[in-house]
Amino acid sequence: MLNEIQLWAIVNGTIVTLEIAIVAIIFGAIFGVVVALGRLSKSKVANTLSWFYIWFFRGTPMLLQLFIIYYAIPIIYLDATGSTFTVNPMIAAFVAFSLNATAYLAEIIRAAIESIDGGQMEASKALGMSYRQAMTKIIIPQTYKRLVAPMGNELIMLLKDTSLVSTIALFDLLRTTKTMASATGSWIYYIYAAAIYLFLTTIIQVVFDKMEKKLGIYER
* Alpha helices (H) along the chain: 4-40, 44-59, 62-67, 73-81, 89-114, 118-126, 131-133, 140-161, 173-184, 188-215
**Residue 26 or 123 having the CB closest to other proteins:** 123
User: Tell me, what DSSP letter sits at residue 167?
Assistant: G
Q: Report how far Cα 166 is from the mean position of its chain's Cα atoms.
A: 18
Residue (82 or 119) nearer to other proteins, CB = 119
| Smaller CB separation from other proteins, 61 or 141 | 141
The distance of closest approach from Cβ of residue 148 to other proteins in the complex, given in angstroms and rounded to an integer, is 14
Half-sphere exposure (Cβ direction) of 19: Cα atoms closer than 13 Å = 18
CB-nearer residue toward other proteins: 75 or 123: 123
Minimum Å gap between C-beta 134 and other proteins is 10
Cβ at position 215, least distance to other proteins in Å: 9
Of 31, 36, 47, 51, the closest CA to residue 139 belongs to: 36
Contacts with other proteins, residue ranges (CB under 8 A): 117, 119-120, 122-123, 125-129, 133, 137-138, 141-142, 217-220
Nearest-approach distance from CB 127 to other proteins, in angstroms: 4
Which CA distances in Å does 62 have to 14, 58, 178?
20, 8, 21
